[in-house]
Amino acid sequence: MRKQTTYITLIILLLLTSVSVAFGENKYGKFFIKAATTLVDSQQIPVEELERAARGVKSQFKPINLVDQKSEADYLILVNECIAIPQSGSPSAVRFIAVLYIRKNGELKPAVQLKSDSDVISWPQAAESLAIHAVRWIDENSMACSVSK
């Protein structure tokens, strides 16, 4: 019982101390975040769990960095998967997998597959991890990411 209480306390502290991805004064440009859809009878159908995942990732960005239309975005994060990974003796680890697209010559082109860290145990932590990986990749590849409309 004491171990469980300690574990819950640790999770609460982590959640309270975690900070949304902070982007200076719109340093990174505009992001559009959406969930992948699935094809059923020649129709694109939304997947509710991916929609929730995309909303979680959106919550990690400041509103100044989000746009409502894909056509306005410098970057697109397309959430493709959300996976719970069972672990023996502890809660399942969770992971988001997405693709980061960059606007080049007026078109959004795939740049890199993103994965949240594999050791997180909550969906909000996975969303924050994915957002951090997107920003880190953009920072590390700034020459490849020079956005052009």
For residue 4, list its beta bridge partners: none
Q: Determine the pLDDT at residue 15.
A: 46
Which stretch of 13-22, 57-66, 70-79, 117-126 has the lowest confidence by average pLDDT?
Answer: 13-22
Residue 115 has pLDDT above 70, yes or no: yes
Cα distance between residue 98 and residue 107, in whole Å = 18
Find the Cα–Cα–Cα–Cα dihedral 11, 12, 15, 18, rounded to 10°: -90
Q: Determine the pLDDT at residue 18.
A: 43
Mean local confidence (pLDDT), 1-15:
53
Q: What is the pLDDT of residues 39-96, one digit of tens each?
A: 778 877 878 888 988 999 998 888 888 999 999 999 999 999 988 888 777 678 888 9
Find the Cα–Cα–Cα–Cα dihedral 54, 60, 63, 65, rounded to 10°: -90
Architecture of domain 2-140: 2-Layer Sandwich (3.30)
Q: Determine the pLDDT at residue 22.
A: 44
Quick one: pLDDT band at residue 16, thresholds 50, 70, 90? very low
Reading the block at residue 28, the tokens are 């990174």
Q: What is the pLDDT of residues 131-143, one digit of tens each?
A: 999 999 998 887 6
Closest of 149, 2, 4 to residue 89, by C-alpha? 4
Mean pLDDT across the chain:
80
Would you give the distance in Å from CA 31 to the centre of its chain? 11
Q: Determine the pLDDT at residue 38.
A: 83
